Every structure is written in structure tokens, then in C-alpha cells.
Amino acid sequence: MKKNILVIHTGGTISMQVHAETGGVVLSDANPLLMEIDKIQQFAHITEVEAFNLPSPHMTPQKMLQLVSTITEQMANQPFDGIVITHGTDTLEETAYFLELATNYTIPIVLTGAMRSSNEVGSDGVYNLMAAVRVASTDEAGGKGVLVVLNDEIHTATSVTKTHSSSVSTFQSPQYGPIGIVTKSAVYFHHAPLSRTYLPIQSIDKKVALFKTYAGMEGELLDMIPTLGYDGVVLEGFGQGNVPPTLVASIQNLLDKKIPIVLVSRCFNGVAEASYAYEGGGKMLQEMGVRFEHGLSGQKARIKLLLELCAQK
């Protein structure tokens, strides 16, 4: 029996087209995907909602929370069997991870997008939407957290990241790989996530900054954090979790002001841990009270710290 799938559009290249005169990729007044949905109805009963029509660099945590509300409202009206969200690829992983933390549905929630806009040769939008609907229509996709489907691969929101600026195989899960694949006739899962974190929030009233460390980095930017009203900081440290010694005093200053600091590695494989005991080394940072976040990129650790702070009321 066909499943009832809610498709929520938010914009992105999947909903854009190349302008005939300028050659620039632009937003469409009428989402081109709406005209293509007939091709996908054979796989599921589709209900479409347009939440936004935004390039994904325009997404914000506030809009991500609005998306959570849209899902809650739609599910209250009709208990769908699965949800597919179309999204620009630039920040897709951040919205996916936000939904992973801020929702706890057991039905499949699948994000998809496209690297080529609707009127480009080899456009991947309709194909990826179809694959996402097929994945969301399987029972196996349920209970695995929020998923991301592009280029015939199924990734978890926690592990996936955009790795290439233009390739259609841009979405990868470094270190872990996809948890399933989509073929012409079937959807296969070969892994499942072990655990899930749920951080329900009502509003976004905190600010978290993200810094990538670099050789010779000065502490001045960190020193501005309290003045600028930030409530938390994520640092992408070197290797196993080390920072330049020039940051230590600034980090101590923030911790003294009860501003939490989360450390991840700027390496996209491996985890940050307290190994090195030199000035600015991970061991020293841990003893100072810096928290190590395992297996998350800087941008996802930022979403997690933000939601943790917003959930603390």
C-alpha cells in the first residue's frame, strides 16, 4: 500500500533555475518541483507544503525551529507515514542535525537537495526528491533519526557533510560512510545509528559562536565574546584537540565567566580527546573545563550547544 508522505519545500538549488539572460542561478517564483511531483506520485501519496523559498545560506536557527513547528502542525492535522524536506545543500547538514536534536519522531524524516538547478543539463533535483520519497516510504527508514538522501546514498544527519562545492556526490559521512543505498528497484540499509539525543526547545534565545583555530591565532576574537553577548563557544582545534598557547588566557577568561566552551577537531576524521599536556594541549584544556564533543563537526557541535543552552530553562 502506498504511504502518505509530507513533502516540505524550503528552497535551495533544487527549487532554483538558471536565468536565461544573466546565467546566474536564481530563486523561482513558482517552485519548479511542484510541476514535477506527478513523476513521484507513483511511489507515495504526496502532500506538499512550501515552508520557505530560501537559498540555504539564508537559513537561521530561528527558521529551523519554524520548520519544527511546521512539522508538528502538519503531523497534528494528519499523521503522515514519512516526511521529506527539500533544502539548499549549503546548510542542509545543519538543518538536518537541528531536526535530529529538536524532534523525536519515529517516522522517517529525510532531507534532500540538488547540486544542479531545475533547468540545468543533468539536473539532479527531481531524481533526489524521488529517492528521498522512496526512502521515506520504507519501514526500515523509521527509528533511525533524521536522514539525508542524495546521489542514491542514505546518510545520518549526525555524520553527513557537504564535501565538494559542485559534485553531485558531495554528501559524504567521513569515517562512517552511508547507512544505506538506493538502487533502481529497492532501498537497502546496512547500518543503523546506536543512539539519539533529544533536545526539545521552545525558542532560540541564545547565541553560540564557532571558531576554527589556525597557527598563530590570537585570543582577541575570543576576548570579544562576552561583550558581543554570546552564550557559548565552539572551537575547532587542531588534530586530537589542541589550540595555540595564545588562546589559553582567553579560554580561561570565558570559562571564569561561565561561558561554556566545546572543543572538536578541525580534522574531519577521528575525535578530539585529551592527549597532549603542553600549553594549549587537550589535557590542559580538559583540566580547565573545556568540554570535548566526539564525532561532530564544528558546525554541528555549534547547533548542539545552542540547543542545549536553549533547552536549559
Number of residues that bind ligand ASP (CB under 6 A): 9
Task: Specify burial of residue 24 (Cβ count, 10 A radius: 0-12, 13-18, 19+).
Answer: exposed
Quick note: the x/- pattern for ligand ASP over 81-120, rule CB under 6 A, is -------xxx----------------------x-x-----
Q: Residues 192 to 251: which contact ligand ASP by CB under 6 A?
A: none
Q: Residues 48 to 77: which contact ligand ASP by CB under 6 A?
A: 55-56
Residue from 10, 13, 158, 161 carrying the catalytic annotation: 13
Is-contact 67 8, C-beta < 8 A? Answer: yes
Nearest position to ligand ASP, beta carbon? 88
Q: Is 152 an interacting residue with respect to ligand ASP (CB under 6 A)?
A: no
Q: Kindly state the smallest distance separating residue 12's Cβ from ligand ASP, in Å.
A: 3
Whether 13 sits among the annotated catalytic residues: the reply is yes
Q: Is 132 an interacting residue with respect to ligand ASP (CB under 6 A)?
A: no
Q: Kindly state the smallest distance separating residue 213's Cβ from ligand ASP, in Å.
A: 26
Q: Which is nearer to ligand ASP, 114 or 296 (CB)?
A: 114
Q: How far apart are CA 191 and CA 134, in angstroms?
A: 18
Q: Which is nearer to ligand ASP, 150 or 261 (CB)?
A: 150
Pairing relation of β-strands 171-172 and 161-162?
antiparallel
For helices 92-102 and 61-77, angle between their N-to-C axes, nearest 10 degrees: 50
> Exactly one of 5, 9, 10, 13 binds ligand ASP (CB under 6 A); which one?
13
Q: Kindly state the smallest distance separating residue 57's Cβ from ligand ASP, in Å.
A: 6
Q: Kindly state the smallest distance separating residue 87's Cβ from ligand ASP, in Å.
A: 7
Q: Kindly state the smallest distance separating residue 56's Cβ from ligand ASP, in Å.
A: 3
Binding site for ligand ASP (CB under 6 A): 12-13, 55-56, 88-90, 113, 115
* Residues catalogued as catalytic: 13
